[in-house]
Structure 1
Amino acid sequence: MEILKISTCFPPLFHFNFNTPKFSRIILCEKKKDNFSFPQNHQQPNKSRFNNLFTTNISISTNDEQKITTKNNENQEEEKFDWYAQWYPIMLLSELNKRRPQGIKVMGIDLVVWWDRNLEEWKVMDDACPHRLAPLSQGRIDQWGRLQCVYHGWCFNGSGDCKFIPQAPRDGPPYHFLQVHTSKRACVAVYPSFVQNDILWFWPNNDPSYKDIHLSKMPPYIPLLDLNNANSSYGKTTLVREIPYGYELLIENLMDPSHVNYAHHGIMKIPPSPKRVKADREGGKPLDISVAKVDLNGFIANQGPDGEHKFIAPCVYYGPFGVGSYLDNESKEQSSSGEINKVFLVFICVPVSPGKSRLLMTSLRNFAAWEYKVFPPWKFHLDNNLIIDSDLYLLHLQEYKLKEKHPYNWQKICYVPTKADALVIGFRRWLNKYGGGQVDWATKFTGDLPPTPAREQLLDRYWTHTVQCSSCSKAYKGLNALEIILQVMSVASIGIAAAVKENVISISARFSLVFMALLSFMASRWLSKFIYKSFHFHDYDHAFI
């Protein structure tokens, strides 16, 4: 499978405003319905401005490790990155269910996402009922389109106002009944949300002053995600996966092209180049990667003739990981339209909690795009999950080793002398210089990593992907039903062959029934193993690959 090398062609267009206060949790309850609403879609920026930015010459090189690593003894005060003054992705719209509330954690904040059919908007709120702190994500949307807590039946609208308390006496003094419902303590905090590139984003600050934050600062617009709409020669598939290691390691891993030959050996088919000098079985080679100036908003990098990588702090990264990246210019294949075969990947990395992150990945390509239209998404998810799992365990252990020696000393404890690590060095420089060395979890976490679970639990796919993926969950249910049908056919065939008298059916028919029973049984056993390895657990032993 060809995956993981993208060639970008448009830089993002959005503006940052960092003059915003730190995270606060102020709950506002309004008696009147708000006139403001966050639209589900918005007008895209003028793409002509991308072209002007695209012509910018990137020439800063990373010939030496010392040129890009952080200088901790700088005297001048640098501008700091505010982790709570950014937009964070919640989920792909295709994976959200309008019929039920869904719980999700971002930046250590427990959120409930639900569709307000009265306002026709997605709402993002605190996942806690103000009554007894029961999770609202375990509730339901009632017949009036309100979010109902199933513990005691309290109901809330899209503005967080409490609209119904069953236990409040309705035949008592009117002022008392109204006072109970309109109390600020009966409200649920609502976070600003916005839809961009078919992704629901939220602003992790429920202060009322940020209600219209999208008017001054929008989520990053990613032109690549609209590429398949503008050009029919491109096909697109998406993936969402919970990752059992931290945000920092996730971005590092995706920015590291040189690990592909080794960590994913035997899974990813990398076509050999006629001019490559192979020093080992896997065929690793020097990579010429240069990184532009790292600033508060991220950086731009260049990797040879394929184009630019872009890191948009704190979550978005896309760059050349594709077919052409592993081929010499003379041997690059062409698509049916005459273009060079290209694979574009957009990685959106979400901080969840210490030791946990979430990956939202989009893959686009201009060759064999018909496969994305003919085959269901779960077929491609099997390969994507196998790639993720093949280095998941070692990255989980690597995170513990980095934590023991403190991430602030990354440039001292890690030896990165080649240009192949330029992207990783650039990210660590940004993280140490502007981001404080790690994600700011405010007061929710101490930063300690969770204990390492059993290997099978760590590599679990069912709860980290299958359950929340609409395509994989349908395939999982369908294949399990097929397994049961095969088992029933096996038993029924044997039963018929044994029960029917000899003079009723011929010997050949009886042998046919026995053969069908045996075939159905073998097929059911194979299908059972396939389901387990594809949707539950697939181990990967590097020593024997």
Structure 2
Amino acid sequence: MTQPEFNFFQHWYPLALLADLDPKYPKSITLLGIRLVIWKPQGQQNYQVFLDECPHRLAPLSEGRIDEKTGNLMCSYHGWEFNSQGVCSRIPQAENPELVKDKFCVQVFPTREQQEILWVWADPLSAELAAKTSLPLSPKIKTENGFVWSRYFRDLEYDWLTLVENIADPSHVPVAHHGLQGRRENARSVPLEVVESTLNLIEVKTPGYLSSIQFEPPCRLEYEIAFPTGKKMQILVYCIPVLPGKSRAIGLFAQNFAKSLHRITPLWWEHIMLRNLVFDSDMILLHQQERFLQQNHPEKTWKTAYKMPTTADRLIIEFRKWFDRYCQGQLPWKQLNIPVPEYFPFNDNRQQLLDTYHQHTQHCSSCRKALKTIQRLQLGLLIYFLLTVSSVALMSDSVRSYWGIPLIAIALFGLGIYGGLKYYLEPKFYFVDYIHADKK
């Protein structure tokens, strides 16, 4: 009997969080090696996703603009315009209007918008199948179920295969994320039991509060955590293949407790104080791990290179078997003529690997706005300090003796706040080195 093959393209993928998109600007994004452009036609409710290539001379449409009069996507190279169906509606250089009519189209990808996410179907030629296929959603992450939830987006400097492996590994959490999501001294056995393993689902269960983990290929990995007190958590991470050696994670985190605290905590604060650090604490480990596997064990497979004697690694073993069985141990880069290097190159530049700004901040609307506000506050505090010191210097002796000290004290207090914003808070949006040995 022929083994079924997994088709990476005929699936729904989360492409972007709706809250992070700006309808005024086209946005470039890569999925499965395909450069896409997200844009919203003026006056319409939903975003569109096109191949990021103008059919004229292949200029990136993501560098274009939304025309104010027509509401269409305009290529910034020669001004060709495309409507929401991807049909070229205007060529400024055309001598004959009939030249334009339905002849030059951009490839359009099926989309949906649900659970505050823009979804895309990765095969534009199977739109009918897309319409019949349900989204890989979690039924738990709904406010009507009594949960509150938050979101997170991060571009990562390691492969999709490594990302899935990492998220499917609960035993690393108290060690790799010491002080963030557990403590290393609490690391213990995790007896996982595989209850289902098919082409379309792998599920494991374990006794205790971590009741189940599900992997729905190609991207949904979800933890269900139920505590004896009745508190529940859902951790849902969508693992998205971008390019060889690069991936993307979109995380949704739901809970039915501490709701008031959750609602008053700004999303950007959660990101810089927790979510960024969790991914930072894995980044260098995983970036180098997959390269050690490639370069130090070229004649070996994961079966011989990895040493996994405990049941804590059972889901990783099952996932690796699934990948070998249904994907022949490779992602579909050859189908797209994307060259895959024999070895992914090492990057020892920690600032590039932990580049929070380009991997997260620039994409996150909450963090972008917070960063701008922090920078404006710094400028205001600095101007206030300079103006206050100058004003006190120009005062008469009698006025200065009365007002000078309190005004200078307030100015120095503001300067202290400036220092905290400049040297403590602002760097968290750009780069903070993560040193595991420093985490006591």
Same fold by TM-score greater than 0.5? yes
Which of these residues, 314, 332, 340, is aligned with residue 447 of structure 1?
A: 340
Which residue of structure 2 aligns with residue 343 of structure 1?
A: 233
Alignment TM-score, normalising by the size of structure 1: 0.76
Corresponding position: 1:537 with 2:397: no
Which residue of structure 1 aligns with residue 393 of structure 2?
A: 498
How is 1:266-305 mapped onto 2 (pairs within 5 angstroms)? Answer: 266-269=179-182, 282-305=185-208
How is 1:78-477 mapped onto 2 (pairs within 5 angstroms)? Answer: 78-117=3-42, 120-143=45-68, 144-169=70-95, 176-183=96-103, 186-207=104-125, 210-226=126-142, 228-231=143-146, 234-269=147-182, 282-306=185-209, 307-320=211-224, 324=227, 332=228, 334=229, 340-382=230-272, 383-404=274-295, 405=297, 409-441=301-333, 442-448=335-341, 449=344, 451-452=346-347, 454-477=349-372
* Amino acid in the other structure paired with 2:197: V
SS in 1 for 2:383: helix
Mapped partners of 2:111, 2:18: distance in 1: 13
Superposition deviation, residue 83 in structure 1: 1.4
Superposition deviation, residue 417 in structure 1: 0.7
Q: CA 1:216–1:268 in structure 2 vs 1: closer, same or farther (change >3 Å)? A: closer
CA deviations 1:93-135 (Å, max 9, x no partner) are 2222222211110000000111234653321111011122111
Mapped partners of 2:110, 2:345: distance in 1: 30
Aligned CA RMSD, in angstroms, stands at: 2.0
Mapped partners of 1:196, 1:104: distance in 2: 19
Superposition deviation, residue 211 in structure 1: 2.5
Superposition deviation, residue 414 in structure 1: 0.4
Q: CA 1:269–1:217 in structure 2 vs 1: closer, same or farther (change >3 Å)? A: closer
Mapped partners of 1:378, 1:517: distance in 2: 28
Superposition deviation, residue 467 in structure 1: 1.0
SS in 2 for 1:104: strand
CA deviations 1:27-75 (Å, max 9, x no partner) are xxxxxxxxxxxxxxxxxxxxxxxxxxxxxxxxxxxxxxxxxxxxxxxxx
Which residue of structure 2 aligns with residue 484 of structure 1?
A: 379
2:163·2:247 contact (CA, 8 Å) conserved in 1? yes
2:121·2:130 contact (CA, 8 Å) conserved in 1? no
Which residue of structure 2 aligns with residue 518 of structure 1?
A: 412
Superposition deviation, residue 464 in structure 1: 1.0
Mapped partners of 1:117, 1:469: distance in 2: 22
Mapped partners of 2:109, 2:170: distance in 1: 37
CA deviations 1:406-430 (Å, max 9, x no partner) are 5981112101010111111111111
1:389·1:459 contact (CA, 8 Å) conserved in 2? yes
Alignment TM-score, normalising by the size of structure 2: 0.93
CA deviations 1:475-503 (Å, max 9, x no partner) are 00001111111111211221112111202
Matched positions, count: 432
Q: CA 1:117–1:497 in structure 2 vs 1: closer, same or farther (change >3 Å)? A: closer
CA deviations 1:252-284 (Å, max 9, x no partner) are 1111111112111133345xxxxxxxxxx6221
1:192·1:213 contact (CA, 8 Å) conserved in 2? no
Q: CA 1:438–1:309 in structure 2 vs 1: closer, same or farther (change >3 Å)? A: same
Q: Which runs of 5+ in 2 are unaligned?
A: none
Superposition deviation, residue 381 in structure 1: 0.9
SS in 2 for 1:471: helix
Structure 1 stretch displaced more, 510-519 or 140-149: 510-519
Q: CA 1:406–1:81 in structure 2 vs 1: closer, same or farther (change >3 Å)? A: farther
SS in 2 for 1:265: coil
What fraction of aligned residue pairs are identical, expressed as a percent? 34
How is 1:7-26 mapped onto 2 (pairs within 5 angstroms)? Answer: none
Q: Which runs of 5+ in 1 are unaligned?
A: 1-75, 170-175, 271-280, 325-331, 335-339
Structure 1 stretch displaced more, 376-385 or 211-220: 211-220
Mapped partners of 1:102, 1:263: distance in 2: 34
1:289·1:303 contact (CA, 8 Å) conserved in 2? yes
* Amino acid in the other structure paired with 1:93: L
2:192·2:206 contact (CA, 8 Å) conserved in 1? yes
Superposition deviation, residue 156 in structure 1: 0.2
2:224·2:234 contact (CA, 8 Å) conserved in 1? yes
Mapped partners of 1:90, 1:400: distance in 2: 27
2:3·2:326 contact (CA, 8 Å) conserved in 1? yes
2:89·2:100 contact (CA, 8 Å) conserved in 1? no
SS in 1 for 2:372: helix
* Amino acid in the other structure paired with 1:396: H
Superposition deviation, residue 534 in structure 1: 1.5
2:110·2:127 contact (CA, 8 Å) conserved in 1? yes
Mapped partners of 2:137, 2:392: distance in 1: 65
Superposition deviation, residue 320 in structure 1: 3.4
CA deviations 1:354-377 (Å, max 9, x no partner) are 111111101111111112321221
Identify the structure with the greater strand proportion.
Answer: 2
* Amino acid in the other structure paired with 1:260: V
Mapped partners of 1:498, 1:244: distance in 2: 53
* Amino acid in the other structure paired with 2:129: I
* Amino acid in the other structure paired with 1:238: R
Mapped partners of 1:120, 1:267: distance in 2: 39
SS in 1 for 2:393: helix
Superposition deviation, residue 206 in structure 1: 2.3
2:73·2:82 contact (CA, 8 Å) conserved in 1? yes
SS in 1 for 2:278: helix
CA deviations 1:468-527 (Å, max 9, x no partner) are 11111110000111111111121122111211120233x252122222232222221221
SS in 1 for 2:378: helix
